[in-house]
Structure 1
Amino acid sequence: METHEFDISMFLRDEQEIAGYLNAAMEEGGSHLVQVALGDVAKARRRMRQTAEDAGITRAGLYRALSADGNPSYENIVNIAKSLGLELKFVPAHH
């Protein structure tokens, strides 16, 4: 039996799914998981080159920053999110 690697980017079809996915990544894994999730969103939108250009980094830099081993700056995360039409917000935590 042949198996295939699961690719979440194939299932991120609209803004609500994307927002839900990114929010879940933030709640479950923090910033490291969010950077990988942003890469999934860029891939889902098939906009890696444009995302990199809009964020002011190279395409290779974007892939590196959003990889599991990446360590993007806060500025890069904000710029990548903006280039994907997303915004970061702070809301009161509910304990």
Structure 2
Amino acid sequence: MGKRSRRYKEDYLYKELQDPKKAAAYLNECLKDEDPAVFLIALRDVIKANGGMSKLAEEIERNRESLYRSFSVNGNPGINTLVDALDVYGLEINVQPMRLHA
């Protein structure tokens, strides 16, 4: 990650992602990408913005290393881990019918 993108994340993005509404909008936008890794990267941004993986591990009583693996680009968090993590940040999963393309 370059110096400019690191500054953007530290100076702007992480502050914005402390707001549950903004974090939800960010995550929902990333869910639109066909690559599920995009969502996991975004979720890691939300985690970092709100105290990091160690704090999350403590909050949801999970192993920190396990969480790092689950939320990595190649990760595959279980539904319970995902729901528990989102809950810590005031977020929830919401299933909606797909929009049909005309």
| Cα distance between partner residues in 2 of 1:36 and 1:15 | 17
What is the Cα deviation at residue 85 of structure 1? Answer: 1.8
**Percent identical residues:** 29
Q: Where in structure 2 are there 5+ consecutive unaligned residues? A: none
Match of 1:25?
Answer: 30
Which is worse superposed, 8-17 or 76-85?
8-17
What is the Cα deviation at residue 30 of structure 1? Answer: 5.3
Match of 2:48?
Answer: 43
3-state SS of paired residue (2:3): coil
**Corresponding letter in the other structure for 2:5:** F
Match of 2:3?
Answer: 4
Is contact 1:35-1:77 (8 Å) kept? no
**What TM-score do you get using the length of structure 1 for normalisation?**
0.77
**What TM-score do you get using the length of structure 2 for normalisation?**
0.73
Q: Where in structure 1 are there 5+ consecutive unaligned residues? A: none
Quick check: 1:89 aligned with 2:94?
A: yes
3-state SS of paired residue (1:43): helix
Is contact 2:43-2:71 (8 Å) kept? yes
Count of aligned pairs between the two proteins: 93
| Cα distance between partner residues in 2 of 1:18 and 1:4 | 23
What is the Cα deviation at residue 69 of structure 1? Answer: 2.3
Q: CA RMSD in A?
A: 2.2
| Cα distance between partner residues in 2 of 1:42 and 1:9 | 13
Stretches (4+) displaced over 6 A: none
3-state SS of paired residue (2:57): helix
